[in-house]
Amino acid sequence: MLFRLLLPLFALLLVAAAKKPPEVVVRFHLQANPQDGSSFIMPLPVSNSAGPAYIKKVPEISELHIDAIFPFTADDGTLGCALKLNPSGRLALDALSVEERGRVLVCFVGTRLVTAILIDKRVQDGILTIPAGLSQAEVALLEGKYRIIGQLNLPKKKRR
């Protein structure tokens, strides 16, 4: 009898605990040293003449840190996007830009490597820019998830 009562409750807890995957995945991984250990790093999925490059498995900044976006057309005809980070993202970017100067931050949107950004100065304003390489579909996903900087968010007029 008790088992019949607990089974639906257990099933309900499992459904509630299941997490949905994020609709938009934007991850910034830091360049890593091969000596950091294989459990903390992964090879970068590109080949170059200097040999394999490595990035940290855990991203420094992700879609969870994005507050708003500003998409734009890049010089090469692709799209770019300025990302305004929330307070925790702003702090992470500030610390990263001080502690890891001279290293590279690699940006993935979904599973696609979009760009690599050299960390060359301190960033305190919480704005991280993907300078180019985004597709229309990727920007459309971002626009569907985040508010766009520069657009007024006025309430919609009521229809009569």
Domain limits of the chain?
24-148
Return the amino acid letter for 84.
Answer: K
How many residues belong to the chain? 160
Q: Which residue did the predictor score with more confidence, 4 or 59?
A: 59
Return the amino acid letter for 146.
Answer: Y
Average pLDDT over every residue of 24-38: 89
Percent of the chain residues topping a pLDDT of 70:
76
Return the amino acid letter for 13.
Answer: L
SS3 content of the chain, % helix, strand, coil (to 5): 30, 35, 40
Q: What are phi and psi of 86, to 5 degrees?
A: -75, 175
Question: What residues have CB less than 8 Å from 96, skipping those under 6 apart?
Answer: 30, 60, 61, 105, 119
Average pLDDT over every residue of 56-85: 95
- Please name the helix (run of DSSP H) or strand (run of DSSP E) that holds residue 118, with its range, or none: strand 112-118
Q: What is the three-class DSSP state of 33? A: coil
What's the pTM value of the predicted model, to 2 decimals?
Answer: 0.78
State the distance between the two ends of the chain, measured CA to CA, in whole angstroms. 56
Query: What is the CATH topology of the domain spanning 24-148?
Result: Gyrase A; domain 2 (3.30.1360)
Structure tokens at 156: 């919609």
pLDDT in tens, 88-126: 999 999 999 999 999 999 999 999 999 999 999 999 999
The closest alpha carbon to 58, from 77, 74, 85, 36, belongs to: 36
The runs of H, that is alpha helices, within the chain are 2-17, 87-99, 136-145
pLDDT band at 39 (very low <50, low <70, confident <90, very high): confident
| Separation of alpha carbons 59 and 82, rounded Å | 18
Average pLDDT over every residue of 24-41: 89
- Does the pLDDT value for residue 49 go beyond 70? no
